[in-house]
Each structure stands twice: as C-alpha cells, then as structure tokens.
Structure 1
Amino acid sequence: MNGKKLPLSGQTALITRVSRRSGVGFAAAKRLAQDGASIFISHYSTHDEQQPWKGDNLDALRHELSEHLTVDASFADISLDLAGPDAPSTLMEHALALTGSLEIMICNHARSGSDGSILDINTNRLDDHFFVNTRSTVLLTSLFAQAFSGLRGGLSAAPGDTVAPDKKVSEYETGRVIWLTSSQARPMPGEIAYAMSKAALAGLVRTAASELVRLGILLNAINPGPVNTGYLNPSSTDRSTEVLEEILETMPHIPRTYGYGPYPVASPSSYGVGETALGDYY
C-alpha cells in the first residue's frame, strides 16, 4: 500500500444479499474491502435455490471475499430472511457487533420471482415483495441512523418536523446509505409486485435523505440497470426464450458484475443527496 491510508480504513460496511459471487452485492463488498473497510454481509441462500440460477458455495464466497480484506479489517456474515418483522433488528445487532460501529450500508437485497401480472397478482405476492424489498430496507435505514447518530425516535413527528438540528457533513466523518432500486421507471410486465416494491423506494429516497442528512448521513439510490448476474444466461434465465433473445438483441453488451462499481461512498461525488444514479443503459 506504500504507506498510503485507504479511503475506508477504520470504517465498517454492511452489505445485504451477498450470496452469490456473480451478484452485485458481492462485487460491492469486494470493492469496499479493497478500499480498507471491515465487512459484514447478510445472505439467504434459500431464496437463491428457488430461482433458476440457484445458489453459490458460501464457504467459497467467504474465502474469496476475505482475500480482499486489509490487515486490520474484520469480516463476519449471517444468514437471514429479511421478510420477518424482527429481521432488520437482528441483522443490525449482529453487524454492529463486528467492530462496534457502522459507517456504510448498502441495501442490495431483493425478493424476485413468484410475481405476476396485473390480472393474477394477489395479496401474498404483494406482501412478500413489499416486506423484503421495501419494509426491511426502510427499517434497516432507521436502525442505521439511530446507531450512527446516537439518537432514538420519540413521539411521532408531525408533517414538516425535522428529525434533529443540522450536523456538519464531512467527507470522512459521514455515514452513507445506498438503496438498490431497479428498472421500475420502465414497464416491467409480469413483475407487478417487484416493480411496486422498488418504485416505493425510488419515491421515498428524497424524503428519507432530507431527514438523514441532518444526522450526517448521505442517502442515495442506484438503479444499476441490466446487469447479468445469471438471469440472462440461457441455462439459468427466468425469461422465456423470446424475451431473452429480445433483451440480448436490444442490449448486446450488458455488463457482468465482476468489478462492478464503485459505489459512491468514498469520493467527493458522494455528496449527492437523495439522488438515483443510473446504470450505463439509462
């Protein structure tokens, strides 16, 4: 390292849904580790095994990710279904136990599959996607804000109330939260529940960010666009042959996730607040 301090040395990052080495979460965790952060990840391989692309070898994933840690950094993980109402609290408790603090959180987790069109969507499908993709992300962000600021919620705020006095925002003393959204701004036929859950996050990001910035936390969202994490491979796709051929013909150079990033957590560009960054195809 030539004695040069890495940008995330001494910081700890929580990244959700790091369960496959071909996934966006793994690429993000690897990059943060290379930048000096301690890493805590969550995964839920049961969900992956239910998908056409299947799961990964978690021991191999842990080993490969650990190889990118710096000497003073720590690593731990937990398997957890974020659909449960108490799951965000459980995850935050374990993540904070790694080093005693959290400075970065990337909410990369999402439920996919078991969806439907507007004609066959039902209560269970809507709830299943909302609980994992939306509710848990908002609750995790609330818990992150409480841990980072040392503040706790009291009585319900009235419309227009601010959460706390303004706090100075500094490049290296600022909490950062990233929400992963999706292509919900475009038609997503057959994915009513998924599109709803991601659209809710995209619509909320500016309101939540306006409160978090007063606590010294910068919240932004990323819509990575099409990234082939396996779902666009003919052998493991969840699309029909016709749809897959149309996607690959329209967008022939869809990126894979290896080396994907960097996420805006350690550079002047991360001063954006409440924004949604778009991938190459947008």
Structure 2
Amino acid sequence: MPAVENGALAGRVAVVTGAGRRAGIGFAIAEELLTAGASVLVHSWAPHDAEQPWGADPAGDAGVVAALGGEGRRLRHVSADFADPQAPGQVVAAAVAAFGAVDVVVANHARSSGQSLADVTAAELDLSWAVNARASVLLAQAFAAAHDDSRPGGRVILFTSGQHLAPMSRELPYAISKGALHQMTLTLSDTLIDRGITVNTINPGPVDTGWAEPDLAARVGRALPAGRWCRPAEVARLVRWLASDDSRWITGQVVDAEGGFRRWVM
C-alpha cells in the first residue's frame, strides 16, 4: 500500500472499528483512508470472529496490521470488546493519544449471533444491543467530547444492513440492534451538525467478506444485477467520500449502496 502524504484526507485522523480480518470491510476502509492520507487507528476484537463459522483471521491482529503497512506514524491498532461500556471511550482516547486529535469515526463493527425468534435469548439481545447499538452511540459521544471543532471534516459514519428494507428472521438480535443505528442517524446528525460534524449511515447490501455458504453466495449473486456481490473496496470508497470535504453538505442520511439488490429473487 503506498504511503500518501498529500491525499484528500491528509492531516485527518480516523478511527475504524471492526477491522480484524483482511477479507473484511473494516480492513478495506482502513486501507482506503490510509491511501487517502489519513492517520488511522484500527480497532478489532478477534474473539468474536473466532466464534463465527468464518473464524478469526489466520494471521491474527499482528498480521492484519502488518498488511496495512504496520504500526507507525500514521497507523495504530487497539483491541477492545465493545460489550464493555468503557471500551468505546478508550478507543477514541487511544486515537487522540496516538495522533493528537480525532476527526472521523467509522463504526463498522458488528456482532452476529444467528438467533431466530424460537431460540433468541435475553442474554444475546442484551449483548447485541450493547455491541452494535450502544457502543456506536458511545463512540459518537466520546468523539464529540474529544473533537476540536476548529478542525475541518468532523464525521461519524455508521453501518446498518438493510433491516428497513427486508426482514432478517434468522438474525433477530442483529436486525434489531443494527436497525437502531438507522433510527439514531437523524437524531445524532441534528445533535452534531451545528458543530460542523456530519453523521451518516451506510447500508452496503451483500458484501463478499467470506462469510456466506456457497448456496447463499450463488443465490445472492443472482439477485444482484451485476451478477456478483459487492466487494469491500467498493464500500471503502463510499466511506472515503463521506469522510472527505466533498460530502460536507450530506448529513442525517442512510445510504443504501446495494447495487440494485433484488430481494424478491431470493
């Protein structure tokens, strides 16, 4: 990855959560922002991925960070469990300690549990809420407290998964908690816009990060006009635009970047 010192985001500082797998969206976002000149603190929590069918990155956190160019003047890494209410503030504080400021927070992290109504538990509902929704609010809160409003480009970028467009009956805790991000977008935007900070949410649609079984991958591919899933790098380019000065007039929006996804074909 080339080291860019004078890109569109030169001098900006970004926090990117959920960047624990080289095949993931968070990794692609971090790579894109670094290439655009930003300094980036990447966050991960490998134990969650290790519990999932796709597993943690075989290279571990060290390998992921090395693939981004290694820790140095413009890259830092922190591991934190967002089930802990103190963790979001600690992550933002780590960015400020490393780089002296924070301009952009990309809350890309997510907890998935695969529970339907028949087997959903109170414990998983609480945990999914804590990681997906509560942590995102606390990240925004910590960012707002730390942000220097004399710096340009204040941005909060959240991620949802299209729960407002179609049901996710086999992912009830995930759908509820990620749907909350959709609903909080406008309110957070109104809260922060007078400080020059924009808040937007991305629904990237189906993204190929290696989690889907072959049958599902084929069916989703047929439901996309391009005949393929979205690639993480395509999501990252949208994040880079939202983090840039070109998007300064956009706030309070949920952007459905789904490539014409036809759910009724599924």
Q: TM-score, normalised by structure 2?
A: 0.87
| 2:223 corresponding residue in structure 1 | 250
Query: Could you list the per-position Cα deviations for residues 15-40 of structure 1 after superposition, in whole angstroms to 9, with x for gaps in the alignment?
Result: 00100111011111101000111110
Check conservation: 1:226, 1:281, Cα contact below 8 A: no
| 1:62 corresponding residue in structure 2 | 65
- In structure 2, do the counterparts of structure 1 residues 80 and 266 end up closer, same or farther at CA, with 3 Å as the change threshold? same
Q: What is the correspondence of 1:1-282 to structure 2 with a 5 Å cutoff?
A: 5-56=6-57, 57=59, 58-66=61-69, 73-113=73-113, 115-149=114-148, 173-185=152-164, 186-234=166-214, 241=215, 243-251=216-224, 252-258=227-233, 260-262=235-237, 263=239, 264-279=242-257, 280-282=259-261
Q: State the one-letter code of the partner of 1:255.
A: C
1:138 CA displacement: 0.1
Give 4+ residue runs of structure 1 displaced > 6 Å after superposition.
none
| 1:159 corresponding residue in structure 2 | none
Q: TM-score, normalised by structure 1?
A: 0.82
| Identity percentage of aligned residues | 33
Q: State the one-letter code of the partner of 1:224.
A: P
1:244 CA displacement: 4.9
Distance in 1, matches of 2:101 and 2:75, equals 13
Distance in 1, matches of 2:85 and 2:5, equals 43
Distance in 1, matches of 2:196 and 2:78, equals 27
Query: Could you list the per-position Cα deviations for residues 161-189 of structure 1 after superposition, in whole angstroms to 9, with x for gaps in the alignment?
Result: xxxxxxx9xxx713011001112121112
Q: Which moved more, 1:91-100 or 1:220-229?
A: 91-100
Comparing both structures, which one devotes a greater share of its residues to helix? 2
* Count of aligned pairs between the two proteins: 250
Identify unmatched segments of 5+ residues in structure 1. Answer: 151-167, 235-240
Q: State the one-letter code of the partner of 1:197.
A: S
1:268 CA displacement: 1.8
- RMSD (Å), alpha carbons: 2.3
Distance in 1, matches of 2:12 and 2:230, equals 29
Identify unmatched segments of 5+ residues in structure 2. Answer: 262-266
Structure label with greater radius of gyration? 1
Q: State the one-letter code of the partner of 1:112.
A: S
Distance in 2, matches of 1:248 and 1:6, equals 34
Task: Give the match's secondary structure for 2:232.
Answer: coil
Distance in 2, matches of 1:216 and 1:148, equals 10
